[in-house]
Chains A and B, each alone.
Chain A
């Protein structure tokens, strides 16, 4: 991987009570790398991603991430938005918190790109799972993150949505560092620079 690591994991272990989810995990990730994380259900993919973004801490070992929160984007299993706000209100709130320059233009562009412009005034609670996932991607991309961490981003997306995401990832590849947990690694063959296969816990 790249010479100047952006992410350095050394002997990372994560336990939930007596259950060890991650064990002795070590890897490095450089600027512009794209790491594809695979593994069966329960192998610790989500846990690893939550450790990377700082939503959890390792039980043992060290995990250094060389970007601050302002340059980090995350799509998890949940959309991380308010269900009773509209798509536009959600993005406006998070855009404000992320100090996104020319916020309204950026929000409009993302909503257009992910096919949500016509639904911008609808509450998220009325969205389908696929639309909610598209909104989650808009939220994560809003501030043009340097490190983008995606947990099964293709889930719930229809074919058109998945293609849009693939195009977006292709554009980001090389510019942003990507960490993507997926059950469809073949989709990411073209952009992946490293793979990490986690075993069953």
Chain B
């Protein structure tokens, strides 16, 4: 188990190191989420109340995560590095888990900027909304890392990723918006937790079949 976790840590650390050098994912995510919130700020009529704004927050977060996921496997596509990982004797699910952790770190960094900007432009966020963001981010990155690996292996990757990912993200948006505006946020948080558990296990188990013929 410790060897498995060591592999996961090494793979996640590798992604963070690559991003620190290339800086081609996180800055794009930060600029995109800020620009989106600014656009929404001017697009939303002033008298509609807070609820629609919470919906727009989730639109911004899902599309920002999509931007990051689209680049998630680019380093592995270059120079055949994914084949190198697949050939290594470590459990192949460690590749998925390492990528999920790295993607989560990038999304969390984008949210550290996006959430204060949302509060500044739109409405306050309570503890339930923040818990919803945390749970939703885990689900987005768990499913997104699997789906983006599938897309990366295909010729139509730019089209395939949103086509597969966005339908799978609908429950996350439902749970996230519910945790922000519902009078019973615990239900929606439990729903997000269940989504995370189910899809993380499915993605963990399915990854081997995605990266092998």
A residues with CB within 8 A of B: 53-57, 68-70, 72, 74, 76-85, 89, 93-94, 96-99, 123-124, 132, 139
Contacts and interface: CB of A to CB of B under 8 A. Distances in A.
A1 B87 CA distance: 27
A124 to B, nearest CB: 7
* Secondary structure dominating the interface of A: loop
B22 to A, nearest CB: 6
A85 B14 contact: yes
Given A79-B80, A81-B81, A94 B88 contact: yes
B17 interface: yes
Given A93-B10, A97-B10, A124-B79, A85 B18 contact: yes
A98 B14 CA distance: 16
Main secondary structure of the interface of B (DSSP, over half): helix
Nearest to B92: A69
B26 to A, nearest CB: 15
Interface residues of B, number: 25
Contact of A84 (B7, B21, B80): B21
Given A82-B81, A94-B84, 10 more contacts: A69-B89, A72-B87, A77-B80, A79-B79, A80-B80, A84-B22, A84-B75, A93-B11, A93-B14, A97-B7
A99 B84 CA distance: 14
Interface string B6-25: 11001100100110011000
Interface in B49-86: 75, 78-81, 83-86
Contact of A55 (B6, B78, B87, B90): B87
B89 A97 contact: yes
A199 B87 CA distance: 28
